[in-house]
Amino acid sequence: MESKFTPSLFEGRIYEFWEKKGLFTAQIDKKKKPFSIILPPPNANGSLHLGHAMFTYEDILIRFHKMMGYETLWLLGLDHAGFETQYVFEKHLKKLGKSRFDYKREELFQMILDYVNENKKNIKGQLRRLGFALDWSREKFTMDPAIVKIVHGTFKKLFEKGLVYRANRLINYCTYCGTSLSDLEAENVDREGLLYFINFPIKTGGTIQIATTRPETILGDVAVMVNPKDKRYQSLIGKTVVLPVSKREVPIIADEYVDMKFGTGAVKVTPNHDFNDFEIAKKHNLSYPPIINFAGRIQNTNSPYDGLKVTSAREKILLDLKELGLFVKEDKHQMVIKTCYKCSRVLEPLPKEQWFIKIKPLADAAKKLIKEKKTVIFPKRFEKQLIRILDNFIDWNISRQVVWGIRIPAYYCKNFKFPYVPQGKQISNFKLNQNNGWFVSAEKPEKCLICGACDFVQDEDTFDTWFSSAQWPFATLQTESKEFSDYFYPTSVMETGHDIMRAWVARMMMIGDFATGKQPFNTVFLHGMVRDGKGQKMSKSKGNVIDPILLMDKYGTDALRAALIFGTKEGGDVSLSEEKVKGMRNFANKIWNVGRFIELNSSVILNSFQDLQKIPKQVRNDKEAQEIIKQLQKEAKELKKRYMINMKKYRFSQALNDLHEFIWHRLADYYVEQLKDELKNGNMSALDTVKSVYLENIKMLHPFMPYVTEAVGQVFYGKETSLLQIGL
């Protein structure tokens, strides 16, 4: 063995060795129990970050179960990440002085595809660098034709079951990115804004003072609303208000929704630009066209404000209100606004026809999986949180106005008129009236499925990326053979961050159960976020972002992997500092040095005897040495017992902590020191015991630190043998 362990000299060679031997390639072996994990697909638009390094948990699970004799599958996949990837690509175009509007749909799509395909190489290289035991023979991509076909089929099945519907309702819309977002993609941000107090003239005389955070939406108001119990305004209910600046007349209505303590107790109602107002207006049968368009400009008012950006319109309206003597005051006001999670701009609530998934039946079925223990959640404290997420899920808007994505297989009949009465052999089950002439076909239809004659058109929108991702466990396996899918599905474990329970885990459970009739995974294991050494969230603005590649270059992959797990409570956030990684590098060196000491002493003893058959098992009959040896054997046996329990109960940090404590402080610092003279003097009993215990620990440590342990293993077991083959 070399005098020290230099990771860069071993890592590339060892990973190549694993791949050449096909150790990561899954097969159907009915004699073995299957164990499968589907890799949460990284976005194919950038480099891996420390969050992706947390896939180490999955690698630990795969390697452990492989060493326990299971047939393991860790299936590799990458996500097209529709909106996110297009956003990243548009930033690239901007540097070139271009924008998405300079290209036709097909041309822009192909450009992004080329960009993604080039970027995939980088990501896959980084996954290898981290030592991940992925099955490279079964790489999947969410835009693979076979995956897209399954995604289309699931949408069609949902449509046929009445669980997908098309509706014109308010959605969160980013006027900069040009797409709608689901409620999960809208980030709630606390900000100090302004509350404006404005007098609205009453037609019969006098005024009613309202308080609003958005004076520009006066242009789209349909009413002024008060609480029916508010004695201040009871005499005004039913009267007519003349809207400032627009001069339209609207009623004063009463609804218990109004908080009498907010502002003046009187509020304006703008149904097309406020989610609560949208429901209120439906209840009171009030409507008016939207006054903000999808470019974030004023429209439909026939006033000087048309064409102005929202912020400019607000400034002009406030000036005009002051000139009219209707502006009263403005107060600072703490408020929560919804912003785009990519560009951080304020989202506009805008009315738009979109496809929605009816969630409640799916959520109820997913909750049943949890309650019946068909899917078990680790750590257990997240179980109630996941059930609460399913209880609070609202219908899911899955339409996105981006080019890069899986286009929705929905088509519109140009001959459709409401109500539609089917004729001849055309579709007779007419939920179609509910969808205003839209039909769904997994394959591009040759003729209109409603009238059979017209030149139908396909929806321009693409699916929300999470819709295809929600199908990932079964969609990936179904693109293999049926026998392969049946063997590995349901998958064994879904390991991911607890921050995407709502965005992904809950959705996988709902869609997976619906599409296959089975839970998509038997166990969910959730990890925390990676934070800096002070426990702060990493961000570029704070300057505390740590590049995993730089850490691996400096200290080795094993050191980074172990630092992520060591001392980390299951499901808890990881505090990672360079010092912690350095400490794990020192541990890797200690492992190597103990192995080198054993190897050197083995060579000394073997060289001392010409005939190997004559080597005595015990050179000296030292009772004290024998007691130490027995103590070592006993302690090692108890360690392995604890290790197996911890690994099976997902207590990986405890398993690693125990190994660290034993190898460094018990085996190296105590037992080797106590037996050093025995080893040097040729006590084979002592050497055999120390060597046996050391190698057993190396095998147990392998799932955590695969490179240094494999390098040591090849010294003692042979260069063509892997610890994955030897097992535990």
- Is the confidence at residue 282, as pLDDT, over 90? yes
723, 713 in Cβ contact below 8 A? yes
Which tokens belong to 568?
């980390």
Residue 537 has pLDDT above 90, yes or no: no
Strand partners, 396: 357
pLDDT at 433 over 90: no
609 falls in which pLDDT band (50, 70, 90)?
Answer: very low
What percentage of the chain reaches a pLDDT higher than 70?
Answer: 94
pLDDT at residue number 606: 47
Asked whether residue 419 carries a pLDDT value surpassing 70, the answer given is no
Question: Is a pLDDT exceeding 60 seen at residue 610?
Answer: no
For residue 640, pLDDT beyond 70:
yes
pLDDT at 620 over 50: no
Residue 599 has pLDDT above 70, yes or no: yes
In the chain, % helix, strand, coil (3-state, to 5) comes to 45, 20, 35
Report pLDDT digits (tens) over 47-70. Answer: 778 888 999 999 999 999 999 999
Burial track 89-109 (b if 16+ CB lie within 10 A, e otherwise) = bbeebeeeeeebeebeeeebb
- Angle (nearest 5°) at CA 577 between 573 and 578: 150
Per-residue confidence at 684, pLDDT binned at 50, 70, 90? confident
- What are the structural domains of the chain? 181-348 (3.90.740.10), 577-726 (1.10.730.10)
Q: Are residues 561 and 56 in contact, defined by beta-carbon separation less than 8 angstroms?
A: yes
* Residue found under tokens 């083995």: 602
**pTM assigned to the model:** 0.90
Per residue in 307-354, pLDDT tens?
A: 999 999 999 999 999 999 999 999 999 999 999 988 999 999 999 999
CB 677 within 8 A of CB 625: no
State yes or no: pLDDT of 680 exceeds 90: no
Q: Which pair of tokens denotes residue 516?
A: 């296959």
216-251 pLDDT, tens digit each:
999 999 999 999 999 999 999 999 999 999 999 999
Lowest mean pLDDT: which of 114-123, 136-145, 465-474? Answer: 114-123
Q: What is the pLDDT of residue 220?
A: 96
Rounded Cα–Cα distance for residues 578 and 572 (Å): 19
Question: Which pLDDT tens digit goes with each residue over 2-22?
Answer: 888 999 999 999 999 999 999
Q: Are residues 29 and 484 in contact, defined by beta-carbon separation less than 8 angstroms?
A: no
Residue 44 and residue 84: Cα distance in Å, rounded? Answer: 10
Q: What is the pLDDT of residue 623?
A: 83
Average pLDDT over every residue of 104-113? 95
Determine which helix (DSSP H) or strand (DSSP E) holds 382, and give its type and residue range.
helix 382-392
- pLDDT of 429 > 50? The answer is no
* pLDDT for 465 beyond 90: yes
Mean pLDDT over the full length of the chain: 92
pLDDT of residue 681: 78
Q: Which of 334, 331, 336 is nearest to 196 (CA)?
A: 331
Mean pLDDT of 99-112: 94
Whole-number percent of the chain with pLDDT over 90: 82
Are the C-beta atoms of residues 131 and 125 closer than 8 Å to each other? no
Q: Give pLDDT, residue 420.
A: 53
What digits encode the pLDDT tens for the residues 507-530? 999 999 999 999 999 999 999 988
Task: Give the pLDDT score at 50.
Answer: 86
How buried is residue 618: exposed, middle or buried, by Cβ count under 10 Å (0-12/13-18/19+)? middle
Of residues 621 and 252, which shows the higher confidence score?
A: 252
- The alpha carbon dihedral of 538, 543, 544, 548 has a sign of positive
Please tell me the predicted confidence (pLDDT) of residue 116.
93
Q: Distance between CA 352 and CA 366 in Å, rounded?
A: 29
User: Tokens 């190994």 appear where?
Assistant: 659
Overall average pLDDT of the 175-196 stretch: 92
Closest to 157 (Cα-Cα) out of 442, 519, 408, 452: 442
Kindly tell me if the per-residue pLDDT of 272 is higher than 90: yes
* Residues in Cβ contact with 41 at an 8 Å cutoff, skipping those fewer than 6 apart: 77, 78, 79, 140, 142, 469, 472
**pLDDT over 60 at 622, yes or no:** yes
Whole-Å CA distances, 388 to 166, 286, 366, 385, 525: 27, 34, 12, 5, 18
CA distances from 639 to 169, 588, 631, 659, 727 (A): 60, 19, 12, 8, 17
Contact of 326 with 320, CB cutoff 8 Å:
no
pLDDT at residue number 491: 98
Task: Examine the pLDDT at 596 and tell me if it is beyond 80.
Answer: yes
The CB density around residue 48, as the number of other CB atoms within 10 Å, is 21
CA angle 648, 649, 652 (to 5 degrees): 85
3-state secondary structure of 607: helix
Which band of pLDDT confidence, cut at 50, 70 and 90, is reported for residue 617? very low
Task: Report yes or no: 249 and 240 within 8 Å, Cβ to Cβ.
Answer: yes
293 — phi, psi (to 5°)? -95, 180
- Helices 145-160, 506-516: crossing angle, 10 deg rounding: 80
For residues 345-374, average pLDDT = 96
Q: Which residues contact 712 (CB under 8 A, 6 or more apart)?
A: 1, 591, 592, 595, 698
For residues 151 and 450, give the distance between their C-alpha atoms in angstroms, rounded to a whole number.
Answer: 23
Band (541; pLDDT cuts 50, 70, 90): low
Give the residue-averaged pLDDT of 453-481.
95
Strand locations in 498-602 (E)? 521-527, 530-532, 574-576
pLDDT band at 471 (very low <50, low <70, confident <90, very high): very high
Check residue 428 and give its pLDDT: 43
